[in-house]
Amino acid sequence: MEKKQLKKLIDIAAGRIPADMVIKNCKVVDVYSGNIIEGDIAMCEGLIAGVGKYEGLKETDAEGQYAAPGFIDSHIHVESSYVSPEELGRLIVPHGTTTIIADPHEITNVCGLGGLNYMIEASKKIALDIKWMLPSCVPATPFEHAGAIINAEDMEEPIKNDNILGLGEFMNFPGVIGADEGVLDKILVSKRQGKPIDGHSPGISGNALNAYASARIHTDHECSTVDEMNDRIARGMYVLLRQGSACHNLKVLIKGITPFNSRRCLFCADDCQPKTILSMGHIDNHLRICVEEGINPITAIQMASLNAAECFGLDDRGAIAPGLRADIALFDNLKDFNVQRVFIEGKEAASQGCYKIPVKRHDISKTKGSFHVKDFSKEKLKLNIKSDKANVINILPGGVVTSKETEEISRDENGDFVYTPSADIVKVAVVERHQNTGNVAVALLKGYGIKEGAVALSIAHDSHNIIVVGVNDEDMAFGVEELIKQDGGIVLVKDRKIIASMPLPIAGLMSDQSGEWVDEKLTHIHEAAHDILKINEDVEPVMTLCFMSLAVIPEIKLTDMGLFDVTKFEFINIEA
């Protein structure tokens, strides 16, 4: 800040000169003291000068609405919205979100640091302030092929970038707990810059959790029980209460919030599709749920703003107070949190649900052409199993966790799996798409419910190889081939015909179209999946499938290298 600007800010705050802009007649939510202050908010060049009685060169009347600090999503993957950073900003800003902490490890696993650079450049064109985390695990584990390998040496320069807030979620928790040399090198890269490290530690407890926390990994968004939440808070970690499109942990964890631990709790979406945003909102939905479940509304707003700002060292935001960024959400009550207007750095960015900033899209050409598949054929989908008993990936309801089940199966004379309509077990395959390895791994999936055709995706966390599931090899192979032709995305097939699809030209992960376009496409895909392919009604057909290769979420998953037991962190045979 220049001296001239500082003087102006102080003069406005003192009431000696009029403010650039004043929001009159607010009920200001004071997240520091827990009070409601009635007054005006004066602004100076994107900063808050004061709360009280002010006059401005421009004035707008809040008409008694509540004014809260702009909401902060503490952990989100932009790529999982299937839209570009510019479009995600357009969708969530009208819901009061003014800052997100984004981990672009999806596109970085596909395109390397070039993908990270695309995200940074695209985010410079929008009102939403995106704080980027440097992906820590590319690939997420050494048990799959990704589009890049980023080691500690590769991270030395990017971590110094002012656009990088810290180190993204450290999914290789066994590597941290085991003090793996390469993992320690990555942690120290961030520590030397004094930047926070985001965590990912599902199911860890006791001394293993002590070991993980001792590296001063700052947060965790993978808690599924109150005990897990309290274990992490007791070790000095912040816990991110997650409510997105795939995982819904908020209502469970709310039950453990107390006046003592609430300041260590934040909100995050993690993965959030346009349908969720358009129908339910974003962090404003977290607030509604909290109040419905009995949380004090000001405590909830603290979790949506101040707590997140303090956790990530964003000392320029998180409250409505002198000298902070003028990121402000106006809403009509402390129950429904219907956001009426949103200001980002003092400029009105949204009003009555409409984004008011022109959307300028960044060039996507460097993110296209990310499919390098060698020698794929239908023959590679054969599953020559030597036993009538098989280890099966079983989908558990309501999330992305799976269980390892032993099931009786049918085989033909060559040992290949035979689909039986009465049994809810089908083939699932992962096709490597980055390094021309020719890898195709095949396993069995239970609980998906598909009874016709096939589904193929280029969204398969975290390395984003092609994942396909189906009742016959012909449709599965056709789906993979058509997916490659359309430069990635989603393809639904029946009788070797496409019945629904959505191209995702940005690294095979994101669309260059609007959120409404994506929502319409996804709605058609979901309808076709349930009505034509007969996928179980309680299964989200896209989001569920794309997590079946995520080898850091228990209990059993499939990568391009084979069937993987996450609890043992080793490959296993399909024969039980």
Residue 172 domain-assigned (yes or no)? yes
Residue 338 domain-assigned (yes or no)? no
- Supply the DSSP string of 461-480, one letter for each residue: TTTT-EEEEESSHHHHHHHH
- Please tell me whether residues 169 and 245 are part of one structural domain: yes
Question: In the structure encoding, which two tokens stand for residue 471, read together?
Answer: 């009742």
Residue 63 domain-assigned (yes or no)? no
Q: What is the DSSP letter of 320?
A: S
- Please tell me whether residues 540 and 403 are part of one structural domain: yes
Residue 352 domain-assigned (yes or no)? no
- Please tell me whether residues 291 and 388 are part of one structural domain: no
- Please tell me whether residues 410 and 541 are part of one structural domain: yes
* Beta carbons within 8 Å of 324's beta carbon, 6+ residues apart: 47, 48, 69, 316, 317, 318
- Please tell me whether residues 414 and 547 are part of one structural domain: yes
Residue 510 domain-assigned (yes or no)? yes
Question: In the structure encoding, which two tokens stand for residue 241, read together?
Answer: 């209460």
Q: What is the residue-level pLDDT of the chain in tens, covering all 576 positions?
A: 899 999 999 999 999 999 999 999 999 999 999 999 999 999 999 999 999 999 999 999 999 999 999 999 999 999 999 999 999 999 999 999 999 999 999 999 999 999 999 999 999 989 999 999 999 999 888 899 999 999 999 999 999 999 999 999 998 898 999 999 999 999 999 999 999 999 999 889 999 999 999 999 999 999 999 999 999 999 999 999 999 987 889 999 999 999 999 999 999 999 999 999 999 999 999 999 999 999 999 999 999 999 999 999 999 999 999 999 999 999 999 999 999 999 999 999 999 999 999 999 999 999 998 899 999 999 999 998 999 999 999 998 766 789 999 999 999 999 999 999 989 999 999 999 999 999 999 999 999 999 999 999 999 988 999 999 999 999 999 999 999 999 999 999 999 999 999 999 999 999 999 999 999 999 999 999 999 999 999 898 998 999 999 887 889 999 999 999 988 889 999 998
Residue 529 domain-assigned (yes or no)? yes
- Please tell me whether residues 394 and 540 are part of one structural domain: yes
For residue 467, report the phi and psi dihedrals to the nearest 5 degrees: -120, 135
Name the nearest CA neighbour of 539 among 390, 420, 424.
Answer: 424
| Domain interval for residue 110 | 68-317
CATH code for the domain of 263 = 3.20.20.140
Q: Within a 10 A sphere around the Cβ of 421, how many other Cβ atoms? A: 9
Among the candidates 298, 317, 336, a domain finishes at 317
pLDDT tens profile 68-107: 999 999 999 999 999 999 999 999 999 999 999 999 999 9
Residue 285 domain-assigned (yes or no)? yes
Spatial strand order of the sheet with 570-571 comes to 556-559, 562-565, 570-571
Q: How many separate domains does the chain show?
A: 2
- Please tell me whether residues 409 and 531 are part of one structural domain: yes
Half-sphere exposure of 177 (CA within 13 A, CB side): 16
Residue 5 domain-assigned (yes or no)? no
Question: In the structure encoding, which two tokens stand for residue 576, read together?
Answer: 């039980």
- Please tell me whether residues 276 and 416 are part of one structural domain: no
- Please tell me whether residues 186 and 285 are part of one structural domain: yes
Written as one letter, the residue type at 430 is V
* Beta carbons within 8 Å of 13's beta carbon, 6+ residues apart: 42, 44, 49, 50, 322
- Please tell me whether residues 180 and 308 are part of one structural domain: yes
Per DSSP, what are the bridge partners of residue 68? 329
